[in-house]
Amino acid sequence: MAYQPELIGGHVALDLLNTISWRLDPSRTIDRIATPEALAIWCAAVGLSGSDGQLERVVAVREVVYGAVLPIAREMKAGDLAELQRPLVGALERATPTGARPLDWVGADLVDELVMAAGRLVEREDLGRLRECQDSGCGWLFLDRSKNGSRRWCSSGDCGNRARARRHYQRLHPGTGVLS
């Protein structure tokens, strides 16, 4: 079966970060864009083009963006965005404007587009709504756009369902081990 990207982040920069499944569980970690073909599928799903020959650079920028955005999901401190600043400034230097109103920029290539998307995430989104999935091994990030801000899992049908099944098992079998 061909790779089908799961776009649950609520923003292209978060969906890029979520191309690593089970990031927090090294025994289960899967890179969903490990091949040029998978990257092309992901790019098409998020509406970007130009992935030819960009895989290594995209993977590298994904880790830079993750290093900058993850602390925001936990508790942002001064300096958390320093690693993103240099590539963002470079991407903006190469970008071209799309029009006067609203002013926006188009990156010179896919990597610049992704770096600029990360900049837009930090600049334009309510980062108080940025969450990390509460499944202990998942690590996916998303914008909680629920009305009351109570979203806990990347996917209610995946990580959320596993958590509900675990709680149900523990109620039926108190004192036994925890299901994984």
Name the percent of the chain lying above pLDDT 90: 61
Confirm whether 138 is domain-assigned: yes
Q: Is the pLDDT of residue 180 over 60?
A: no
Supply the pLDDT for residue 161: 66
Q: Tokens for 69?
A: 């955005």
- pLDDT-based confidence at residue 173 (cuts at 50, 70, 90): confident
Distance separating alpha carbons of residues 135 and 148, to the nearest angstrom: 20
Torsion-angle region of 117 (φ positive above 0: left; ψ -120 to 50: alpha; else: beta): alpha
Q: Dihedrals φ, ψ of 143, to 5°?
A: -90, 120
Confirm whether 176 is domain-assigned: no
Confirm whether 131 is domain-assigned: yes
**pLDDT tens column, 45-72:** 999 998 899 999 999 999 999 998 888 7
127: Cβ contacts below 8 Å, ≥ 6 apart: 72, 76
119: domain CATH number?
Answer: 1.10.3300.10
Confirm whether 28 is domain-assigned: yes
Confirm whether 152 is domain-assigned: no
Task: Say if CB 45 and CB 81 are below 8 A apart.
Answer: no
Give the length of the chain: 180
Confirm whether 172 is domain-assigned: no
Q: Is the pLDDT of residue 73 over 90?
A: no
Dihedral of alpha carbons 91, 95, 98, 102, sign: positive
Task: Say if CB 110 and CB 49 are below 8 A apart.
Answer: yes
Note the pTM of the prediction, 2 decimals.
0.86
Confirm whether 175 is domain-assigned: no
What is the rounded radius of gyration, in angstroms, for the C-alpha atoms of the chain? 18
Q: What domain count does the chain have?
A: 1
Confirm whether 53 is domain-assigned: yes
* Domain limits for position 25: 12-146
